[in-house]
Amino acid sequence: MIEARALSKYYGRTKAVDGLTFEVRPGIVTGFLGPNGAGKSTTMRLIMGLDEPSSGTVLVNGRRYAALRRPLHEVGAVLETGALHGGRSAYNHLLCLAQSNGIGRGRVAEVLELVGLTEVARRRAGAFSLGMRQRLGLAAALLGDPPVLLCDEPVNGLDPEGILWIRTLLRRLAAEGRTVFVSSHLMSEMALTADHLIVVGRGRLVADASTTEIIDRASTKSVVVRTPARGRLREALRAAGADVQSEPDALIVRGLAQESVGDLAARHGIAIHELHTRQPSLEEAFMKLTQDSVDFRTELVGAR
Amino acid sequence: MTATLAARPPAPTIGFPNLLRSELTKLRSVRSTWWTAVFAALATIAVSVIICVQWRSNLLSGKDSLDGFDATLTSLNGLYLAQIAAGTLGVLVMSSEYGTGMIRATMAAVPQRRAVLAAKGVVFAGCTLLVGELLSFAGFAIGQAILSGAHASASLTDADALRATVGGGLYLTAVGLLGFGLGALIRHTAGALSAFFGILFASTVVVDLLPTSWRNALIDYMPANAGSQILTTVPTHSALGPWAGLGVLCGYAAAAIAVATVLITRRDV
């Protein structure tokens, strides 16, 4: 369980995190979604006690991070892929972290096996690909078999196979009853991985609801219509109260269902060459969500 | 599975021995440690051999006299080169963690930042002292073997020679800790190295340029001048004795470490 209360972090006059209040619950994967620069990494660092909040609090398992007795047994974190010394072997990287929390060499071998790095454990981590570094980061996070897992952009730099692997692993860890908090700037990835989403934009909370709810609310359907009489149809649609945009060979209609657009065209005797409804992509939905952050804040915050 | 997660026994706190073990693993598992140790060893031995051979030939040919000759200090001259390695490694112990981002993993695993700093300092100082003493005694032994050819050698049965040779390892450790403190304080390798060389070497040059009365009042208290008094067995012009001089050098290191200790909990990682 992670609880943030009015959490804020200012760097000079820049508000990196601005009054975030949210809870991350155990047993599900919670996505932390926002465009780059929205304050996700800063929030992660505040949770980990690496940065001091300017105001507000964040608790992990009911305590401040600094008050955790053996942090690796309570929280595992996959921070940025750079959080290791490139000159050290994967094995020694994990060993020094394990030793600091009194974890034995046997567990180091276990987590190396778990992430599939046993073969290359003695190689310098600096020579690893981005994907191997992500795996090493995950191995470090799992050293203490922690009930809380934080992952900052874990799929960055992974190939499709790696993405599938990490998605499966995160879902399995959550199913075991752990709290899993994963940040990403990719809505499509979060839609597949996360059960619940906390969406941020410019350091502020945009949405806090289940993934399906957020996708439904953020997705406004539109109707695509192709006609030789563009001008006349556009006038007719606007007269009926629809929002119409012109694309090179079609009109994009919002605010009227597909059937209504067809009926309207028939009444005006306008020929239709094509008529279909378009579902926005998840990325479009996400863009809209974070761009119009003010509108959605009032609607979705606390909606769960 | 929820039950197994909840059933974990209450964890004991992180003990300082765990931190020492962790930091020792870190120190031995990067190449820079071994490179600096090799450099320090080569520097100590090579300089001792070169200078002592020179002195032996000058003494034998009568070009130099034994008047005021410090056989112990002569054989320990290589430590002045080795101190660059000790200080550089000291800087890297902290600055490389900040430079690589490893510090975030370190501080996440152990939020007690001052304990981390202390463990790093103890492990680094212990290893430097061990290597420093080995090098100092090796430099002394090799140098004296060469100088004995001119019947000019010192012996460890002489209290001052023993103090100076033991002091050689202490001197390297103190210089290393100055680098360590600066690395922890400045956190950037290049900046910390510049500060280290500035304080250890450039300070003496700058003070030398001051008006004579100021220069004379300050020069003995510059870190390198003060600390190296521990290596002498023949009285020098310094206002500081061997132990007082080493104490002043330790003071510089302690000041840097103290400021770093205060700041480490106040700054974001």
User: Which residues in B lie closer than 8 A to residue A99 (C-beta atoms)?
Assistant: 18, 21-22, 25
- Give the model's pLDDT for residue B5: 52
* B123 vs B125: CA distance, rounded Å: 6
Cβ of A175 within 8 Å of Cβ of B13? The answer is: no
Q: Which residue of B has its CA nearest to A145?
A: B5
According to DSSP, the β-strands at A55-60 and A14-24 are unpaired
Q: Would you tell me how many other CB atoms lie within 10 Å of the CB of residue B253?
A: 25
DSSP conformation class of B62 = T
A25 contacts chain B (CB < 8 A)? no
Q: Is the pLDDT of residue B49 over 80?
A: yes
A73 contacts chain B (CB < 8 A)? yes
* B152 vs B268: CA distance, rounded Å: 57
Q: Is the pLDDT of residue A296 over 50?
A: no
- Give the model's pLDDT for residue A53: 96
* A152 vs A170: CA distance, rounded Å: 13
Q: Which residue of A has its CA nearest to B106?
A: A97
Of A3-7, A119-123, A215-219, B258-262, least confident by mean pLDDT is A215-219
User: Which residues in B lie closer than 8 A to residue A11 (C-beta atoms)?
Assistant: none
Cβ of A70 within 8 Å of Cβ of B8? The answer is: no
User: Which residues in A lie closer than 8 A to residue B8 (C-beta atoms)?
Assistant: 73
- Give the model's pLDDT for residue A289: 73
- Give the model's pLDDT for residue A13: 86
Cβ of A99 within 8 Å of Cβ of B8? The answer is: no
Strand ordering across the sheet containing A179-184 = A75-78, A148-152, A179-184, A29-33, A196-201, A204-210
Instruction: Tell which residue, B131, B45, B101, B183, has the closest CA to residue A133.
Output: B101
Q: Is the pLDDT of residue A301 over 70?
A: no
Task: Classify A123 in phi/psi space as left (phi over 0), alpha (psi -120 to 50) or beta.
Answer: beta
Sequence-distant (≥ 6) Cβ neighbours of residue B152 within 8 angstroms: B55, B56, B59, B66, B69, B71
Best probe of the A interface among B1, B20, B25, by most A CBs < 10 A, is B25
For A239-285, the pLDDT digits (tens) are 998 889 888 889 999 888 899 999 999 999 999 999 998 877 677 77
- Give the model's pLDDT for residue B8: 53
Gyration radius of chain A over CA positions: 24
Hey, which bits of A47-187 come out as E strands? Answer: 55-60, 75-78, 148-152, 179-184
Best probe of the A interface among B35, B104, B267, B269, by most A CBs < 10 A, is B104
Cβ of B269 within 8 Å of Cβ of A140? The answer is: no
What's chain A's average pLDDT? Answer: 89
Helix locations, chain B, DSSP H: 2-6, 16-28, 31-61, 71-75, 79-100, 102-109, 113-147, 159-186, 189-197, 203-208, 212-218, 223-227, 242-264
Cβ of A177 within 8 Å of Cβ of B2? The answer is: yes
Q: Which residue has the higher pLDDT, A92 or A287?
A: A92
Report the gap between the CA of A206 and the closest CA in chain B (Å). Answer: 26
Cβ of B109 within 8 Å of Cβ of A71? The answer is: yes
Report the gap between the CA of B141 and the closest CA in chain A (Å). Answer: 35
Residue of A92, A100, A178 lying closest to B110 (CB–CB): A100
> What percent of chain A has pLDDT above 90?
67
Cβ of B19 within 8 Å of Cβ of A26? The answer is: no
Cβ of A50 within 8 Å of Cβ of B268? The answer is: yes
What are the backbone dihedrals phi and psi of residue A25, each rounded to the nearest 5 degrees, phi first?
-100, 155
Q: Is the pLDDT of residue B133 over 90?
A: yes
Cβ of B1 within 8 Å of Cβ of A49? The answer is: no
Core vs surface per residue A284-302: b (16+ CB within 10 A) or e: bbbebbbeebeebbeebbe
* A71 vs B142: CA distance, rounded Å: 50
- The partner residues of A208 in beta bridges, in order of sequence, read A198
Which tokens go with A194?
């996360």
Mean pLDDT, residues B238-247 = 95
User: Which residues in B lie closer than 8 A to residue A102 (C-beta atoms)?
Assistant: 12, 14-15, 18
Give the pLDDT band (50/70/90) at residue A302: very low
Mean pLDDT, residues A288-297 = 58
Report the gap between the CA of A8 and the closest CA in chain B (Å). Answer: 14
What are the backbone dihedrals phi and psi of residue B163, each rounded to the nearest 5 degrees, phi first?
-60, -45
Of A229-243, A282-296, B223-237, least confident by mean pLDDT is A282-296
Q: Residue A63: which H helix or E strand, with range?
A: none
- Give the model's pLDDT for residue A292: 58
> What percent of chain B has pLDDT above 70?
96
Torsion of CA A195, A196, A200, A206, to 10 degrees: 130
- Give the model's pLDDT for residue A298: 45
Residue of A85, A89, A96 lying closest to B96 (CB–CB): A85
Q: Which residue has the higher pLDDT, A293 or A152?
A: A152
- Give the model's pLDDT for residue A297: 46
For A130-188, the pLDDT digits (tens) are 889 999 999 999 999 999 999 998 888 788 888 999 999 999 999 999 999 999 988 88
Report the gap between the CA of B112 and the closest CA in chain A (Å). Answer: 7
* A80 vs B101: CA distance, rounded Å: 8
Are the beta carbons of B93 and B27 closer than 8 angstroms? Answer: yes
Cβ of B26 within 8 Å of Cβ of A88? The answer is: yes
Sequence-distant (≥ 6) Cβ neighbours of residue A271 within 8 angstroms: A227, A228, A229, A265
Are the beta carbons of A11 and A39 closer than 8 angstroms? Answer: no
Best probe of the B interface among A25, A85, A172, A179, by most B CBs < 10 A, is A85
Mean pLDDT, residues A194-199 = 94
Are the beta carbons of B84 and B176 closer than 8 angstroms? Answer: no
What are the backbone dihedrals phi and psi of residue B212, each rounded to the nearest 5 degrees, phi first?
-50, -45
Give the pLDDT band (50/70/90) at residue A37: confident
Report the gap between the CA of B32 and the closest CA in chain A (Å). Answer: 9
Cβ of A80 within 8 Å of Cβ of B101? The answer is: yes
Cβ–Cβ pairs < 8 A, chains A and B: 117
Are the beta carbons of B134 and B166 closer than 8 angstroms? Answer: no
Q: Would you tell me how many other CB atoms lie within 10 Å of the CB of residue B185?
A: 22
Of A183-192, A226-235, A273-282, B80-89, least confident by mean pLDDT is A273-282
User: Which residues in B lie closer than 8 A to residue A69 (C-beta atoms)?
Assistant: 10-14
Cβ of A69 within 8 Å of Cβ of B14? The answer is: yes
Cβ of A52 within 8 Å of Cβ of B268? The answer is: yes
Task: Classify A157 in phi/psi space as left (phi over 0), alpha (psi -120 to 50) or beta.
Answer: left
For B160-183, the pLDDT digits (tens) are 999 999 999 999 999 999 999 999
According to DSSP, the β-strands at A55-60 and A29-33 are unpaired
Are the beta carbons of A300 and A208 closer than 8 angstroms? Answer: yes
Mean pLDDT, residues A32-39 = 89
